Chain A
Amino acid sequence: EPEVTQTPSHQVTQMGQEVILRCVPISNHLYFYWYRQILGQKVEFLVSFYNNEISEKSEIFDDQFSVERPDGSNFTLKIRSTKLEDSAMYFCATAGEDAWVTGELFFGEGSRLTVL
């Protein structure tokens, strides 16, 4: 079964460092999302990406965050200067055109970011 893969599974970084989280979406998917989940809390929307541009972003997604799809396959989330409060599990999710019928959003297994 096709799956969304994320790397790294866990990253520990010092405050102020840049972090890049990578996601390989399912090959024919067109809609890409990043969510984050602070330990024990709800899943929060960060950004959605379609047709090589951001389609929507939340207030969490400030200037420290950026997304891109540099090579047409990987979908990356960059945090320029990490803060302690960025410590969370970051989920990549993707959907195909039929998501509006089937409803399924495919999640990766998450990348746990720990900022020290």
Chain B
Amino acid sequence: AQKITQTQPGMFVQEKEAVTLDCTYDTSDPSYGLFWYKQPSSGEMIFLIYQGSYDQQNATEGRYSLNFQKARKSANLVISASQLGDSAMYFCAMREAQFYFGTGTSLTVIP
């Protein structure tokens, strides 16, 4: 079974609007971490946000928030007030003993 599933290969959003990128995960380990990384066209991986499995509140970092629904095993990324520079690939990842990555979602912000 896939550890991380991202079902949206591509998403479009209007500039200044909010967008949600979906991520579901599969683990039986009670202790794990969930992450989102951004990969712009230049290729580097940029850490965005982290949610620990025991964290009670959803993580937020500026315009990024992680909608953590533990029972549903989902960890969706919400980007508020989209900017043109947000256009990139976004990868959801999970840490158990090691880090597993999803297949990514390509986000395009339309002016």
Identify the A interface with B (CB < 8 A): 33, 35, 41-45, 48, 55-56, 89, 91, 93, 99-107, 109-110, 112
Q: Quick one: which of A56, A101, A102, A109 contacts B98, CB cutoff 8 A?
A: A56
Q: Mark B82-111, 1 if CB is under 8 A from A, else 0.
A: 000000000101010111111110000000
Can you list 26 A-B pairs with a CB-CB distance of less than 8 A? A33-B98, A33-B99, A42-B101, A42-B103, A42-B104, A43-B104, A45-B99, A48-B97, A48-B98, A55-B98, A93-B45, A93-B99, A99-B95, A100-B33, A100-B95, A101-B52, A103-B34, A103-B50, A103-B51, A103-B95, A104-B47, A105-B35, A105-B47, A106-B47, A107-B37, A107-B45
> Are B50 and A91 touching (Cβ within 8 A)?
no
Shortest A107–chain B CB gap in Å is: 4
What is the size category of the interface that chain B forms with chain A? 20 to 34
CA distance A48 to B44 in the complex (A): 19
Which single member of B43, B52, B97 contacts A56 (CB below 8 Å)? B97
Interface majority SS (helix, strand, loop, mixed), chain A:
strand
* Across-interface contacts of B95 in A (CB, < 8 A): 99-100, 103, 105
Q: How far is the CB of B96 from chain A (nearest CB, A)?
A: 10
**Measured CA separation A110–B42 after assembly (Å):** 10
A42-B102, A45-B101, A107-B46 known; 12 other A-B pairs, CB under 8 Å? A35-B101, A42-B91, A44-B101, A48-B98, A91-B45, A93-B99, A103-B51, A103-B95, A105-B35, A105-B95, A110-B43, A110-B45
Closest 10 CB pairs of A and B: A103-B50, A107-B45, A42-B103, A43-B101, A103-B33, A109-B44, A48-B98, A104-B47, A56-B98, A110-B43
* A99 contact set on B, CB distance < 8 A: 95
Q: Please, how many angstroms separate the alpha-carbon atoms of A56 and B98 in the complex?
A: 8
What residue in chain B is nearest A44 (Cβ atoms)?
A: B101
Q: Please name all residues of chain A whose beta carbon is closer than 8 Å to the beta carbon of B51 when the two chains form the complex.
A: 103
Of chain A, the residue at the smallest CB distance from B6 is A42
Is B35 in contact with A103, judged by CB distance below 8 angstroms?
Answer: yes
Q: Are B98 and A110 in contact (CB under 8 A)?
A: no
